[in-house]
Amino acid sequence: MDEPQDKYYLGFFDDAEQFVAVMDFIDHYPTERSCFIGFFMMERSVQGHGIGSRIVTELCVYLHSLGYEYIRLGYVDGNKQSESFWKKNQFTDTGLRNHTQDYTVVVMNRML
């Protein structure tokens, strides 16, 4: 298996330059024309206002313009907040599961 080529931590700021979100992002993984979101965390005080969805939408538009085919991510099975957020943002269950000793990760994709 190839190692990820590029791993980034992206910070997002609001208009007042307050830090509101962070994303762990692996470029060209699991394929050359895809990327993987390792985690995406929002400041609790700005959750539920559409900012996270706007960040995801803008990322998707940008990656599509560069010729990417899809974005992949995983969430811990049973985390209803994560499941709801990613489904709302057009990610679909691939049917793949990664099992660890403590939890199962549900793998999702969004086609670009």
In the predicted model, is pLDDT for residue 3 greater than 80? no
Give 2-48 as a 3 state SS string.
Answer: CCCCEEEEEEEECCCCCEEEEEEEEECCCCCCEEEEEEEEECHHHCC
Q: What is the pLDDT of residue 1?
A: 46
The SS3 of residue 108 is: strand
Q: Give residue-wise pLDDT tens across range 16-42.
A: 999 999 999 999 999 999 999 999 999
Q: Give residue-wise pLDDT tens across range 46-103.
A: 999 999 999 999 999 999 999 999 999 999 999 999 999 999 999 999 999 999 999 9
In the predicted model, is pLDDT for residue 4 greater than 80? no
d(CA 83, CA 14): 25
pLDDT averaged over every residue in the chain: 94
0.95 exceeded by pTM: no
Environment class of 45 (CB within 10 Å of its CB; exposed 0-12, middle 13-18, buried 19+) = exposed
d(CA 71, CA 33): 9
The owner of tokens 């706007």 is 54
The encoded tokens of residue 9 equal 């931590």
